[in-house]
Each structure stands twice: as C-alpha cells, then as structure tokens.
Structure 1
Amino acid sequence: MSQNPQARRYRAHLSQFSTSILQTKNPWVVAFFAFSYPGFGHLLLHRYIAGFILIIWEMFINGKANVNLGILYTLTGNFGEAKEVMDERWLMLYVGIYMFGIWDSYRTTVDLNKQYILADREDASLRPNAMGAWDINFMDKRKPWVAVTWSALFPGLGHLYVHKVIAGFFIFAYTVAIMYFGHIPEGIQYTMLGKFSEVKKVVDMQWLLYLPSIYFFILYDAYNSTVDYNLLFEKEMKKFLRENYQKNKFIFPF
C-alpha cells in the first residue's frame, strides 16, 4: 500500500495477511529450491498462486509416479526395484512441469531483480501498516533466529512470526497432511522407544522423503524473509525521518 498514487513502482505491498516485497535474489538459489521441490522457487518470489499450484501438483504426480520411492531405491543401489516401482505413464507428465518450475523461477528472479533496481531508485513512499477486519499487518524489526527456531519446531510457524499468514498456513497444513499419510508421528514414537523394526513397518517412505526438502526450504525462507522485511522497515523509516525531520540544506556525505 502506498501513500503516493503517482509512483510507478513500489518496493513492497502490505496486505492484512502478507507483505509482498521486491528484493534482489540470486537466481541460482531460487532455481535450486525449485529443483529441490517444484513451487518453492515461486514462494521465494512471493508468487503464491503459482507456487501453491506447483506444490500440490508435485504431491499428486509424485505419488502417482512413485518418484520418491524410485529416488530411494536408486540411492540405495537397488536399480531394478527403482525401475519396477516407478510408473512411466505418470513420469512422462512429471518431467515437463518440473523443468518449467526451475526455468520460470530463474527467469522471474532475473526480471524481478531489474524491477527492484527501478523501484529502489524511485523510492516511493509506503504505508507502514495495513488494517482490516481480519488482521493487522505492520512493518517492524524482527529477529531472524527466532523465525528459524519456530520453523524448526514445526514448518509454518516461522512464517506466521513474520506475518506471512497465507504461506505459513499453507505450509503448516501441507506438512500435517504429509506427516499424517506417512505415519511419521508413529515412526517418531517407535524411534524414541528404540523399536526400529516397527519404524520400518509403519513409516511410508514415499511420504517421508518430502520432509527434507520442506524443512530445508522453510528454514531458509523464514530467515531470508525476516532479513528482507527488516531492510524494508529500515528504508521506510529512513525515508520518513529524512522527509520530515532533516533540514533541506543538509549536505549528504559522498
């Protein structure tokens, strides 16, 4: 939300449920997360609709093609079983959209980096809060390690801490579904009791293999989002103080 209707580009947009922000990112990092899990690269760029669609598609098509089981058997050297377990009819549909997610994440990052440079030079004013009937969102300084800690405790909580409500709730619900269908809480319970043979019987590896990518992503995204929002807060505060309290004849040091 902006206070200047004449501005052409803005660095950020505050809504009740989230803060979308332009910030320079390494295209290869974004592409890597899209490679690790389709949709994650788009979430890093605050492109939530595209990200959610790709994530849901990944869960559907991966389950039909048994890609995770194929990866597991390949890594353990059981190439024959990997070939048998994977469904080639669904696998052919998996490849194209998987590659698109990586390419589109990289391409969009390059374009948004250019948009950020233009928006930063324009330095349009921003409203530091957004209030509505459902929620209140405001720019503030937050601690990255707190976001990482909550994310490590359970995916989605770190995003709620930095007020990425939509993404946080989606990740939270998505992780709950994976843990439920994979019988992961039961596996954790048997592991704590030392019943490792029972763990192998009860845990569904097709679902379990989703978790490493999810955890790695949410830790990085929670930390990175907190840093970006802190930088946005500082820039908005500097602009406000400069325009309202700084003398017009002040000479900037070069």
Structure 2
Amino acid sequence: MTLSSEGSSQLQSEKQPWIAVILSRVIPGIGQIYAGYLLRGVIIFAVWSGSAMMALLSLLQPDINVGIVGLGLLIHFALGFWNLFDAHSSARKSNSPQFETLRKSKKDPWLAVFLSLLIPGLGHFYIKKIGEGIIFFIATIVVAILAPKIFVGILQFGAAFHVYQFMNKRKDLSQEKTPLLIGLFVIASLVVSSAISSIASSALETRYIPSASMIPTLQINDRLIVDKLTYKFNLPERGDIILFSPTQFLQEQNFTDPFIFRIIGLPGETVEVINGQVKINNQPLEEPYIAEPPTYQYGPSTVPENNYFVLGDNRNNSYDSQYWGFLPKENIFGKAQTIFWPLDRRGPIQQLP
C-alpha cells in the first residue's frame, strides 16, 4: 500500500511518545519541546536545573541549610522522574486519535528502544526475543565491571538498534534515521552524565576522618562535605580546616591519601611553639578548639612564600608541619565545610581561631 503525499506528511507530523521520553531522559523538558510544547519544556528545564543549582550553592555555604539542600534535591530528582511521564503525555496529546489508535494496536518499537537504552536486553524481553535479551543483559554486566563507561554506551546503542531492526523489517525513511537518533541519544547521555559528574566532583566531595589528629573538632569516622571551589577564587586563611595531597617529603614516606589539618601560619609569618602556646609573629594565638596545649617546642621559623604551616587540633598526637615542614599552596585542594554524619554531630565545622 502506498500513501499520498498528504497522508505521508500527516504521519510525519505525528509525535512518537517514547521518542519524547527518550529525549527527556537526557535533558528534562526536551521531550515536551519535541512534542510541540515549547514553553512547558523550557519551564521544566529551568526548574530542574535551578533546583540542582540551589542545592549546590547551599552546600557551598559555611552554615549549610539542610532543608534547602533537601528541597532542591527533592525537586530536581522528582521533576526529572515526573518529566518522563509528562513528555509521553504531551506527545500523545499532539497526535490525532487515528494515529494513537494505530500506535496502540501493536508493540511500540520506540518503547523497545527506550527499554534497551535503560537496560540493554530489556527491550528484547519486551518483544519476546529472550535469547538475545539475555546475551545483551549479561554482556552489559560484564562490560560495566571490566570496561570503561563508553563501552556500556556502545552496548546500549547496539541493543537499541538491534531491537528496532527486529520490529521494522522494511527499509523506510524512519528506519534510516533510527541509528542517528539512537546514536545521538547515547552520545548525549554520556556527555550530560560526564558533565554533571565533572561539575559535581570539581565543586564538592565527601571524606571521612580516619585518625584522631583533629580531635576534638573532628572525630574518627566523621563524614565531611569538602568545598573544592573556594580556593580557586580565594586564598586560604588562618583557621581554615583544609584537605591537601601529600607533600614530596610525605610521598617519599609512602603516604598517598589526603591529609586534613588546620592552617596556623600564613606565608611570610614567623611561627613558634613555646611553653604550651603557639605564637604568630611573637603574638600568642588564641586556640579554643585544641584538645590540650602542645607539650613540644618548635621554631621560631618563617613560613616561605606560597606555603602554609598546618597543625592538628590534637596537638600532641598529630603528624603535622612540626614534623614534615611547610605545605605548598598547590597541594591544597579543598576546605572542610560541614559534618553530615553522624547526625548528632551534623553541622558547620568551626574554622576560625
């Protein structure tokens, strides 16, 4: 059977609901735009991205508002999930009743594609190609464990295109565009997920405290949120509790994990520890946060340019600058902002003397 140019044009103007879902799974709101609801899609994208930004900015504040963070994350993830249903509904509303009746009368190839992009093999189970589905599913598990993430994306593409081929034997215009659409989805998914991961990892990370060197401020097994952006725009200050990679001296002693200490001496300052008191430029430093006064003597010693002098709050049980020297600025990568676990210790970390 052939279609008239008018009938063909009408069919091409119809929207595939599962294509809308696939698009909105990459970026919320895009599926609605595809379905013809431009303003709706823009609003969904703005709220989705804005809620994530709200949570991120709150996490970067010294006094974290857990309620705002929780609300932002709740809106972000809930909207991202609801948006999939809305994209599907928006596309259906754009279609004629005749097209929807025809689409629902048989298994939807784009649903099979969506399922395969979700979990390779799932689309094959949907169309009852059980053997192929098992092969793709097992291959995905093996590749996810042993290979880089990009190979999982290749498997997603292969499974999605393979399942679509099973359901559309004829070589029409729609089928010729399928590899391009699926490939763009896989590439976009990898790019978006990598970008989000990169942005998150460059701004924040979590750490736990493995030693007693910062008692009483930080206890063993405290879980922290670390701000990795502050020192890209500001210099470290006295009293900041910082995370840093091991210095050359520490690396030679086979230390590889990051350290966490408090900044005591700034570049150009003279540091001395004498009679249980830290002195900066011969002036005593008030330190209400330490476990007990230091019992050792140190200095006087001048902190070199672009270096810092760091000590643990547990002064007499801390392997810090008194032993291994000054800390180069380039080794500092984060500022400890807040304790998020255990719950009874949750809150901002005391920074300044």
Superposition TM-score, scaled by structure 1 size: 0.33
Greater helix proportion: 1
Superposition TM-score, scaled by structure 2 size: 0.26
Identify the structure with bigger relative contact order (alpha carbons < 8 Å, sequence gap 6+): 1
In our comparison, the structure showing a higher alpha carbon Rg is: 2
Greater strand proportion: 2
